[in-house]
Amino acid sequence: MRHELALRIGPVAFRIGSAWRSPLDALARLYAGYPAPEDGLCDFTVRLEPERPWRRFIRPSVAIRGDYILPDAAPLSLAHGLLAAEMGMNLQMALGQRTWLLLHAATVEKDGRAIVMTGESGAGKSTLAALLGERGWRLMGDEFALLDIGSGALLPFPRAISLKNGAIGVMEAEVEAGRFGPRLAGTPKGDIRHLRPNAEAIARMDEGAKPALILFPRFGEAAAVRGVGQAEVFMRLTQASTNYVALGRRGFDALTDLVRNVPALAIDYPDTETAVGLIADFRRELAA
């Protein structure tokens, strides 16, 4: 391909090829300080290419392709090329990851104990993880949690955090400007701005942690905490995993172990600060 870039994020290495230079330039700036894959060897290939040959020049539109492809994917405008690259990497993980059990969840860690936060988009887990990552927790990932099947440990996958709409302002007030990508206005998901995790999250991207708590956060309700039964946790985590079924028996063993050994809570929260406070309380209880 005309332009290419290789990136390692935690245990996974990507090569991203592009027909245009600008998406990879933006990607390289956003991931400044990340290691290159050893010997250039990569797990997944992402391709950003024109839908039709002439669309490289005329009203350029970026089709997201790679090792694994979904039909029905609509192209993005070249101005949103960075988002296309990010979605391309997510797509490879969602469809092609077969080594670890993949959960659509944000993970933060403190003192070797990890909190896994999962829920539908809009539940606020990205914002919550981003904020905790600046308040004394280590951000392990805002999008995918990787559960190691043999050890039951969670592996970091600290991609750039994808902040949407209101969350952008929340984090801009918290973090220096140099860690942000460009503001992408008017994407199919509204305004998006990516945030590079802090130096500690990147430096410790090879260091796993034991899961200590599973949280199902829900944004926009009065503060409330309730326990969640194991069967419900199991059901919800299978729905949060794109590769549970494909992992067969190994996935079953890993997920039933996780559900039986790790407590789970559902929390409602009216604003992010309240949730940060609740999570600090949980941490004290877990440590006690």
Partner 1 sequence: MSGTDDSNAFVPSRRTVLVLGAAAASTVVTVRPALAQTAGSVLNCEIPVPGPQAGGSYIAPDGSLVAPGTPGAAPPLARPLRGEEVKNLLRSGSTPAGVDSASAQAYANYIRRLQAGMSGFTCYASLQMPR
Partner 2 sequence: MAGPAYIADSPGAVTKVALDGLAVLFHEPSGMTHIVASPAPEILEALQEGPADLAEILRRLSEVFDVEPLPSMGRGWGGVDSATRSVPAAMPPPPQPSPIKGEGAFAEALAARLAELEAAGLVRRA
Partner 3 sequence: MSGAALLVRALREPGSIGACDWNALIGAARAEQLLGSLAFRMEGQAVPARVEAIFAAARREAAHVRTRALWEAEMCRRALAPLGIPVILMKGTAFHAAGLDASLGRSVGDLDILVPRDRLDAVEAALVEAGWERLKEAGGYDDSYYRRWMHELPPLIHKDRDRMIDVHHTILPLTARPRPDAAALIEASVILPGTGRDGQVAMSPGHGFGSRGEPNLPIATRSGAVEGGQHPAPHPLHHSPAANGPPPHPGEDCLRVLAPADMVVHAAAHLLADGDLAGGLRNLWDIDRLLREFDSPDFRATLAARARLHQLDGPVARALRLSSRLYGTPVAAGRLTLADRLFEARLLARNGWGQERRKLLRFAFYLRGHWLRMPPLMLARHLWTKAVMR
- Cβ-based nearer residue to partner 2, 148 or 232: 232
Which listed option, partner 2, partner 1, partner 3, none, makes contact with residue 264 (CB within 5 to 8 Å by class)? none
Closest contact distance (angstroms) between CB of 84 and partner 1 is 8
2 binds partner 3 (CB under 8 A): no
102 binds partner 2 (CB under 8 A): no
What residues contact 239, with CB distance under 8 A and at least 6 apart?
Answer: none
Closest by CA to 78, choosing from 52, 51, 59, is 59
247 binds partner 3 (CB under 8 A): yes
Q: How far apart are CA 240 and CA 44, in angstroms?
A: 21
Q: How far apart are CA 91 and CA 29, in angstroms?
A: 21
- Listed ranges 64-72, 118-126, 204-212, 264-272: which one lies at the site for partner 3 (CB under 8 A): 64-72
- How much is the CA Rg of the chain, to the nearest whole Å? 19
Q: How many CB atoms lie within 10 A of CB 112?
A: 12
41 binds partner 3 (CB under 8 A): yes
Task: Indicate which single residue of 24, 91, 101, 167 sits in contact with partner 1 (rule: CB under 8 A).
Answer: 91
Closest contact distance (angstroms) between CB of 158 and partner 3 is 19
Phi (first) and psi of residue 159, to 5 degrees: -70, 165
- Listed ranges 106-114, 143-151, 199-207, 224-232: which one lies at the site for partner 2 (CB under 8 A): 224-232
43 binds partner 3 (CB under 8 A): yes
Closest contact distance (angstroms) between CB of 100 and partner 2 is 18
Contact string (CB under 8 A) for partner 2, positions 242-271, x = contact: --xx--xx--x---x--xx-----------
Q: How many CB atoms lie within 10 A of CB 174?
A: 13
**CA distances in angstroms from 15 to 40, 41, 85, 233, listed in the order given:** 8, 9, 10, 35
* 34 neighbors 9 (Cβ within 8 angstroms): yes
Q: Which long-range contacts (CB under 8 A, 24 or more apart) does 56-64 make?
A: 56/19, 56/20, 60/20, 62/20, 62/23, 64/88, 64/91
The residues of the shown chain that bind partner 2, judged by CB under 8 A, are: 228-232, 234-236, 238-239, 244-245, 248-249, 252, 256, 259-260
* Interacting residues toward partner 3 by CB under 8 A: 1, 13, 15, 17, 37-43, 45, 47, 49, 66-68, 96, 98-99, 246-248, 250
